[in-house]
Amino acid sequence: MASGRTLLITGASSGFGRALAQEALAAGHRVVGTVRSEAARAELEALAPRSAFGRLLDVTEFERIDGVVADIEASVGPVDVLVNNAGYGHEGVMEEAPLAEMRRQFDVNLFGAVAMMKAMLPYMRKRRRGHILNITSMGGFITMPGIAYYCGSKFALEGISEALGQEVRPFRIAVTAVAPGSFRTDWAGRSMARTPRSIADYDAVFDPVRKARQEKSGKQLATR
């Protein structure tokens, strides 16, 4: 483990987070993964009892993030790589979707990631090294009907990643935004929040997109 690195991965219980954790552990690195249940924590730590460490954290618990990061630094060791993976998809026509659903989407996908970066940066800056990986989406570059809030959150994270990269480059901290395309995860399945339909005028533009997404879910060519 002398040459291994320590990765802090948010949302490590499923999808890209779990896949990244498994790959990092297989390569000889240590992984600290944030999860939202004791069962998920036990499952993560069982992957590699001496190298995998679970921490209970919902990234919207902003007041807890600094303390959790400080505990990881003190008890596990210096974090070399922060992977902001926690997130979910929201589907809904903008006129129909309440602002509360937009706030929740941005709290998880954007503000949670920013809060994690702000908590981690003082340690990386002091050490003059580190790497931040933000999992965005092709939805941070292109749009389609029915996922305005999701795309908005990912466009924002792309922009913040780019600007932050310029700010911290003098401290030998790299910031990388990773924008996956269509992968076989639960994004369009159980992980997606859907606003109920209510305005028939949008049926023609929205219904075919929803149908295609549902039919494709679980059958994407790319696997995580």
Closest CA to 48 of 68, 26, 77, 79: 26
- Sheet-wide strand order for 81-84: 52-56, 30-35, 6-9, 81-84, 130-135, 173-178
Is-catalytic flag, 202? Answer: no
Angle at 112 between CA 118 and CA 219, to 5 degrees: 130
Which member of 88, 123, 149, 150 is catalytic?
150
Structure tokens at 217: 């879910």
Residue type, 145: P
Contact (CB, 8 A) for 21 and 90: no
Tell me the C-alpha distance between 159 and 97, whole Å. Answer: 24
> Could you list the active site residues?
150
